Chain A
Amino acid sequence: MTRLRSLIQTLMALGTNAYLLFPFGGSVIYQGPLKAVCTPGLNCYSCPGALLSCPVGAFQNFMASLRFSGGGFPLFGAIILGYVGFIGAAVGRLTCGWVCPFGFIQDLLHKIPTPKFSLWQPLRWLKHGVLALLVVIMPIFFVDSSGLGHPWFCKLICPAGTLEGAIPLLLLKPGLWGTVTFFFWNKLVILILILGAAIVISRFFCRTLCPLGAFYSLFSRISVFQLEFIEGNCVECGACSRKCPTGVVPNKELDSPECIMCLRCLDACHFRALDFSIRRPPAKPSKVTRATFPL
């Protein structure tokens, strides 16, 4: 399963960044029709190779555009809401584990042999704050002098944007160095800290800061696919939790919002106490009829 996941992650990372004309006189950023489609994971649409748009960037632009909708609902938002909502309801955070290119980069970094640490658990809540503040609230209310909202997560934090977008663009077009501001240096420091943290703490960014992961985690308890626990087979050896990259204890926290469905726990369990399946409807409680007695 691990090899299959690595293969899919590699294919998705290369597939979503498959525009190869930028070094050969083509446009530095792909601007074709595929840019109308979002990638399911976090992948900067300013990356020279990116064929698809980023759902987080698109969603922030939707929030910023609400100011100009005159009280109406911009239909552009329907595309984004429909898209990320569909992915969330269908597969939830499986996207983080199997498809997201930035998650894949963190998986590779964590393979570097160094001492490893576990995450301070309260930090997991931070990503929900990032989603609410930087992706939803600030693009609507924090505007520049011309009244335009901005994608604040992209501007202030997004490490995928710095790694896949800003740095390659500055290398390809040295003339852009003149436009570099505080925001770039701020994000460069954040990128270095996040990549450093990802070496010693598995999936550091996904667990603490990723707004897309926070959004998909809202669907963890209802999404179509689920991790199933077969209690009778479990010997509580702890092999599953030791292998989990997001610190979940699968036999105690089923449907955890932190589970990225990488299925490493399935590989680790030799007693078949875990299974991956399509979620079944909850069992209805049997009807208890009260006996009535004639008076």
Chain B
Amino acid sequence: MAKRENPKESGTRNSQEAELQRGEATSELLRELVAHLRQNRTQLREEWVVRISETRLLTAMTKEEIFAEATSVYDSYVEALETETFEALQAYARNLSERIIPRGVETHEVVGIVLLLRDVLARSLFAKYQTDFKKLNRILDAYEPAANRIANTVAVGFVQERERVIRQQQEAIRELSTPVLQVRERLLILPIIGVIDPQRARQLTEQLLRGIRTNRAKVVVIDITGVAAMDVTVANHLVQTVEASRLLGATVIVTGLSPEIAQTLVTIGVDLGKMNTVGDLQGGIEQAERLLGYKVVTLAEPR
């Protein structure tokens, strides 16, 4: 006796089967598609390179370089379509980005060429299946999601690589621009240049305090001529740096305050009695020398 199926169960089973059939059909279509793209590789790649130079993308690269990369990108593209896996493509995109970012290639160029390739390949599909609209539709159903994913993967890979480079450069700038320099016994100079954010301000303070202890400094001149502006948070950091230095027995002289920064300090109500300031670095060093008991004398005859 045949078992009577619950209509809902059979409905689910039917749609699962349909899903399976669709999946198989898609894979078969993708295989057909990939075969076509491989067969016409030379011609389609050439067409793509022509479109790239027509739209004036990748101007930072030579023709030979564009051709070499185009070949790799094309093959990776087709392979991604074939395998439906994108890790290899992601890795390639990052690798490519690492090479072309120092050449000055921009995000819109990378996205542009990937979309151009997408277009070149799609048009070749239109040309091939123009007589069979139904089939063209099914081919496109297979192609579209994969092609979109590829464009996405490459663009995101490029942007991530850019962000990595930017982070690296920021770190390098931070480390470079906070030297603590001893110019006399017991006298340190801290020349600050550029933008100070709270993180950099904190790093400066730590470096300075360590420097005071290591060099047994009694006077520190912090020169901020190279700092255009600072917000209230950073201004407070500066005040804290002065106070912390005092706890280590060092006097701080701040030099080179711009009018904007002077305004900020007055606005936040800094106790100017606590802040020892001098107009410029030269004045600051001269005062520091006086504090330390140095005197600079001109020799009768310069050597």
Partners in one complex: no
- Contact residues of B with A, CB < 8 Å? none
